């Protein structure tokens, strides 16, 4: 049985869409147990009759507080009766195997880092996003969990990304790169120049510097960067994806024939919009946390929640953390030992 802690109050359409998504998952996945965490008086009626057949596979855990979508993320650590905090605590205490939340991204990150925590072998968990490319997906990490990082963190991110690509995306021996400007070794900022030789020493399939364009080109399977750059790229890309779609709409309005054309292309546009919504499918995983944490878009609907539950199960079924621990040791153990925090070179 896979036991999920679901933050029923987080998200723009909470609790209705979250509860519906959990219910949908219960119907589809017979090995799933769901803790619906939130205001009991709001959650219970939403479950209603439809939930009765699954009565032995869920529990409503009362949590009177809610972390607002616009609240300062750190506030969650003081709101110990919030649905998000209580859900994270269920995971930390071993009652639940994973956490799914559509709440305030920063707050979910905060409980992931400080309530659930990273596995011992890592200093920090990392957020990865799988961007679409013509042939498949490219994982970019970190995209916002870690802002100022040292070279050894980027090495850790590389192993995390490798593990994600291999286990979850099914890419064998993933091609790993470091985000930089210019292709040749020696190009980039200080952080990149210091990290490059370390990555070369690992047993990862390290191809060297990746440029911004490589994120969408299919030339790399995993690209590592600090969370500042990664977050800027993620947000710029999301915005640009939607901006392009809006520009098409604007252009279409200008001509009758273009309107006719757009009518015939509506299916194609829908497919495109989905692809541009990078976090749509299954949410964004916080990788390297002690248990799977899936952060979905604030505007997640029932289907998105169902997908996020599915994603969390996948991490669990693949024994993601066990594999990650082995990979950290086998692929980068020596490099990481050498660069451990506190060592003189401080890399």
Cα-Cα-Cα-Cα dihedral sign, residues 324, 326, 328, 330: negative
Element (H, E) at 205: strand 205-210
User: At its nearest, how many Å lie between a copy of itself and the CB of residue 60?
Assistant: 33
CB closer to a copy of itself out of 16 and 69: 69
61-68, Cβ contacts within 8 angstroms, sequence gap of 24 or more: 61/35, 61/36, 61/37, 61/86, 61/87, 61/90, 62/38, 63/9, 63/37, 63/38, 63/39, 63/87, 64/39, 66/9, 66/10, 66/38, 66/39, 67/10, 67/103, 67/104, 67/107, 68/104
- Please answer whether residues 233 and 187 qualify as being in contact, where contact means their C-beta atoms are separated by less than 8 angstroms: no
How many CA atoms lie within 13 Å of 4's alpha carbon, on the beta-carbon side?
Answer: 36
3-state SS, residue 79: coil
Closest CB to a copy of itself among residues 278, 320: 278
**Interacting residue ranges for a copy of itself, rule: CB under 8 A:** 72, 106, 132-134, 144, 147-148, 179-182, 184, 188-190, 211-217, 225-229, 231-241, 243-248, 250-252, 254-255, 257-258, 260-265, 267-269, 271-272, 275-276
Judged by CB, which is closer to a copy of itself: 119, or 258? 258
Least distance (Å) between residue 46 CB and a copy of itself? 32
CA–CA separation, 208 and 212 (whole Å):
13
- Strands 284-287 vs 126-133: parallel, antiparallel or unpaired: antiparallel
Q: How far is the CB of 293 from a copy of itself (least distance, A)?
A: 19
Cβ proximity to a copy of itself: between 56 and 250 the closer is 250
Residues in Cβ contact with 6 at an 8 Å cutoff, skipping those fewer than 6 apart: 18, 22, 34, 35, 36, 37, 87, 100, 101, 305, 309
- Whether residue 162 contacts residue 128, with contact meaning beta carbons closer than 8 Å, is answered with no
Q: How far apart are CA 198 and CA 196, in angstroms?
A: 5
What is the Cα–Cα distance from 326 to 333, expressed in whole angstroms?
A: 9
- Cβ-based nearer residue to a copy of itself, 40 or 187: 187
Pick the closer one to a copy of itself by CB: 244 or 337: 244
Nearer to a copy of itself, 49 or 267 (CB): 267
Of 78 and 273, CB closest to a copy of itself: 273
Closest by Cα among 141, 144, 160 to 106? 144
* Minimum separation from the CB atom of position 157 to a copy of itself (A): 16
């Amino acid at each position: 049985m896979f036991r999920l802690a679901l933050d029923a109050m987080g998200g723009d359409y909470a609790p209705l869409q979250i509860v519906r998504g959990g219910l949908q998952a219960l119907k589809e996945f017979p090995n799933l147990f769901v803790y619906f965490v939130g205001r009991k008086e709001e959650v219970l009626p939403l479950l209603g009759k439809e939930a009765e057949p699954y009565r032995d596979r869920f529990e409503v855990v009362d949590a009177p507080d809610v972390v607002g979508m616009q609240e300062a993320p750190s506030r969650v650590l003081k709101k110990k009766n919030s649905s998000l905090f209580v859900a994270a605590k269920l995971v930390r205490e071993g009652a639940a195997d994973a956490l799914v939340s559509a709440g305030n991204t920063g707050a979910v990150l905060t409980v992931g880092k400080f309530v659930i925590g990273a596995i011992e072998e890592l200093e920090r968990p990392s957020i990865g996003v799988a961007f679409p490319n013509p042939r498949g997906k490219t994982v970019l990490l970190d995209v916002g969990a870690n802002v100022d990082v040292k070279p050894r963190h980027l090495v850790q991110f590389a192993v995390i990304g490798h593990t994600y690509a291999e286990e979850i995306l099914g890419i064998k021996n993933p091609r790993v790169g470091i985000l930089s400007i210019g292709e040749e070794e020696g190009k980039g900022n200080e952080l990149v120049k210091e990290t490059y030789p370390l990555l070369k020493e690992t047993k990862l399939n390290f191809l060297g510097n990746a440029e911004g364009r490589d994120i969408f080109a299919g030339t790399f399977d995993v690209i590592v960067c600090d969370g500042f750059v990664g977050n800027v790229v993620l947000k710029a890309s999301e915005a640009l994806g939607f901006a392009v779609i809006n520009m098409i709409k604007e252009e279409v309005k200008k001509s009758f024939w273009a309107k006719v054309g757009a009518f015939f292309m509506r299916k194609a546009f829908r497919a495109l919009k989905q692809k541009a919504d990078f976090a749509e499918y299954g949410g964004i995983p916080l990788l390297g946390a002690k248990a799977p944490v899936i952060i979905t878009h604030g505007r997640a609907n029932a289907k998105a929640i169902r997908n996020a539950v599915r994603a969390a199960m996948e991490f669990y079924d693949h024994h993601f953390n066990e594999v990650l621990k082995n990979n950290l040791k086998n692929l980068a153990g020596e490099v990481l030992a050498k660069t451990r925090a506190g060592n003189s070179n401080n890399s």
